[in-house]
Structure 1
Amino acid sequence: MKRSLLLSTLLIPAFLTVLTAAEPSLEELTGSGVDFLRNSQADDGSWTAPNRPGVSGLITTSLLASGLTPDDPTVTKALDHLESFVQKDGGIYDPEGNHRNYETCIILMAFEKANKDGRYDTQIKNAEKFLRNLQWDEGEGLETSDTSYGGAGYGSHQRPDMSNTQFFVDALKAAGASEDDPAIQKALIFMSRAQNLESEYNQTTFAGKINDGGFFYTPAAGGETKAGETDNGGLRSYGSMTYAGLKSMIYAGLDKDDVRVDAALGWIKKHYTLDSNPGMGEQGLFYYYHTFAKTLDVMGK
């Protein structure tokens, strides 16, 4: 059930982005996904556990992207459920959980998608302020040379990583931030250091050990990858983080002539597949599809 739910949630926008040439099949696939999600919604408007609003936020955004309106009964119920997680500090999260950045980012994007009449202006504005305060920067006493600088983690004072940071950038863009917004430019500094590319933008100790242009999980606190290390201590690149890095760099205003974008595209061309999450097999496969589709959308592909 959970696997099917996640598949429907992540692949609806993917089909909308990737399969636009197959209109009849697209309509059938989208309709089946929407029907499944309607029928699996709980009475309180949630999907899966009531205290996991991130999943419900993703599903709500997917339904809206599939053509449903905020006034559709399923969507209205979902939005009401998400609104119950708005906190006094502006964040939108389960206070007993450990995913304050993820949940706030995801729900902010759901509210933005539903905000055709300004009904969520206040929630979006407050959530954006909350997220900006989570970013690792001068407010935490960091200098730009620190490998944590510019990143976002699960919550306040938790180690930043690429996954949290890509959602952070996505949410700021949804809230209206421009490519030269200071927070997005700070995130670019962090993400450049999570790329296996030795350059003027990345002079960490592991920058040139692999040098293939892909991205890994985090450069902070000594660095970490979910795809394993090489014998010389290199942090292996993998698909989902490489698409996350490329998408975020485009949001930050970089184009194909930038060495970082060029290197990321080179890695993607070499490892392009929809059969697995490159470097990770089936681990994080639906996450990979989700990020893959969003990146292609940003690139206009």
Structure 2
Amino acid sequence: MKRHTFFCAVAGVAASLAFSGAAVAEPDESLRNEVQAAINKGLKYLATKQDAAKGFVGSEDHPALTALYAMALMGNPETKGVTPEARKAYDFLLASQKEDGGIYKTSLPNYNTSLSLTALTLVADEPKVREAALKARRLVIKGQYDEGKPGEMDSPYDGGVGYGSKPPTDMSNTHFALEALYHSKKLLADDPDRAKAEPQLNYAAAIDFVSRCQHLAATNKSSWVSEDAKNKGGFVYRPGESKVAPEDPASGKPSVRSYASMGYAGLLSFIYADIKPGDPRVKSVKEWLAANYSVTENPGIGSEGLYYYYHTMAKALNTAGMDFVETPQGRKNWRADLAKQLFNLQHEDGSWANENGRWMEKDSVLVTTYAVLALEHIIRGL
């Protein structure tokens, strides 16, 4: 993959984005060794949290946690093949599959199934896994919301994916679904006739939904869209609703402020849907992310969802082939910056946990999987 540079113009000049194949990070063996050591410590901690009999980690009620763990195990550069821990995790995911193809216990079918499907694609050369993954893929596609007349936008939530079958839909679940479908396309690559017979996601509707979550007046005509520098190009959680506290709580109006974890989810959604880098929506979100670069907080929302942010940031920048982020403060080696921040936050037992408990981030199993996955995205570029 060709490497590029993420560029945001200096303060006082309208932000812009440039790509340069010349700016390629030099191999850093010392940092690579440190990252690998942190990965190993994190995985060792997670292994102590795996149920010996059933194979799940965290909560049996949420297979997504075990799916994240399976992905972390499979992403370890030092591991060849499927480890015993990974095999137990995959056996749990397969045992959790319902007749409808979903991989969930009693709730959050789209969220749990999307992450489980992404994990299954890593071992889909096994026939039983391949068929289970295809069943899960159908459920993920079925989870796309379409109110009223099929194919028409009758609701701002149309085209997106939520936690379940009913609205509201949101950016987080939509990007997880697009990710799962992106990685599971290979399951049908050698059988075009079957591929045609399988259900299809309405990608145009999905990207329309993603665009309706972005502060960009040129492509989103919603009344809440702002062109001010704090928001332009950034993303909110769902159309007309952010998870950032309102600037004026007394007004009673919901917040529509941009924040970075949804910005990276938006960037990934564009990549997974094959929206080209020159598209103004892609350029604009990259500009916002460069202007709001940070490894100490989730820009716009502080410590809330911090490790989700670290994981999504690393995944997006790595997937986009970015070695550097050019910010108003200068060029940033995001891999080195984020790795060192994660080293500092790792506990002696190998775990990570957020002091801010929003979105379950006091759960050391969930947060440690996020951190390990982020480090694995980092190490691939070292």
- Please say whether Structure 1 and Structure 2 have the same fold, judged by a TM-score greater than 0.5: yes
Equivalent residue, structure 2, for 1:5: none
1:52 maps to a residue whose letter is H
* Residues 34 and 137 of structure 1: CA distance in aligned 2, closer, same or farther (over 3 Å): same
Residue of structure 1 aligned with 2:294, choices 251, 257, 273: 273
Mapped to 2, the partners of 1:64 and 1:261 lie a distance apart of: 30
1:92 corresponds to 2:111: no
1:141-170 Cα offsets, whole Å, 9 max, x none, are 562363111100111113100011010101
Bigger shift: 257-266 or 283-292? 257-266
Q: Which runs of 5+ in 1 are unaligned?
A: 1-17
1:45 maps to a residue whose letter is G
1:204-261 Cα offsets, whole Å, 9 max, x none, are 1112364511000001xxx211013456966100010000001111222223321111
1:235 corresponds to 2:256: yes
Shift of 1:296: 1.1
Shift of 1:86: 0.3
Question: Are the equivalent residues in 2 in contact too, given 1:19–1:26 (CA < 8 A)?
Answer: no
Shift of 1:37: 1.7
Question: Are the equivalent residues in 1 in contact too, given 2:145–2:167 (CA < 8 A)?
Answer: no
Equivalent residue, structure 2, for 1:290: 311
1:248 maps to a residue whose letter is S
1:162 corresponds to 2:189: no
Question: Are the equivalent residues in 1 in contact too, given 2:144–2:201 (CA < 8 A)?
Answer: no
Please state which structure has a larger fraction of its residues in helix: 1
Number of residues of Structure 1 aligned to a counterpart in Structure 2 = 276
Give the secondary-structure state (helix, strand or coil) at the position aligned to 2:203. Answer: helix
Give the secondary-structure state (helix, strand or coil) at the position aligned to 2:60. Answer: coil
Q: For residues 150-229 of structure 1, what are the structure 2 equivalents within 5 Å? A: 150-176=159-185, 182-199=201-218, 201-208=219-226, 210=228, 212-219=232-239, 223-229=240-246
Mapped to 1, the partners of 2:117 and 2:283 lie a distance apart of: 31
Equivalent residue, structure 2, for 1:34: 43
* Residues 84 and 154 of structure 1: CA distance in aligned 2, closer, same or farther (over 3 Å): same
Q: For residues 120-131 of structure 1, what are the structure 2 equivalents within 5 Å? A: 120-131=129-140
Question: Are the equivalent residues in 2 in contact too, given 1:69–1:75 (CA < 8 A)?
Answer: no
Question: Are the equivalent residues in 2 in contact too, given 1:52–1:94 (CA < 8 A)?
Answer: yes
Equivalent residue, structure 2, for 1:8: none
Mapped to 1, the partners of 2:169 and 2:222 lie a distance apart of: 16
Shift of 1:34: 1.9
Equivalent residue, structure 1, for 2:11: none
Poorly superposed stretches of 4+, deviation over 4 Å: 138-142, 230-234
Shift of 1:190: 0.3
Equivalent residue, structure 2, for 1:63: 73
TM-score by length of 2: 0.67
1:31-72 Cα offsets, whole Å, 9 max, x none, are 212211222211121111222211111111111011445531
1:53 maps to a residue whose letter is P
Structure index of larger Rg: 2
Question: Are the equivalent residues in 2 in contact too, given 1:242–1:264 (CA < 8 A)?
Answer: yes
Mapped to 2, the partners of 1:140 and 1:149 lie a distance apart of: 10
Give the secondary-structure state (helix, strand or coil) at the position aligned to 1:34. Answer: helix
Mapped to 1, the partners of 2:56 and 2:81 lie a distance apart of: 15
Same amino acid, percent of matched pairs? 33
1:114 corresponds to 2:114: no
Equivalent residue, structure 2, for 1:258: 279
Residue of structure 1 aligned with 2:61, choices 51, 64, 88: 51
TM-score by length of 1: 0.84
Mapped to 1, the partners of 2:27 and 2:92 lie a distance apart of: 32
1:64 maps to a residue whose letter is M
Shift of 1:20: 7.1
Question: Are the equivalent residues in 1 in contact too, given 2:74–2:82 (CA < 8 A)?
Answer: no
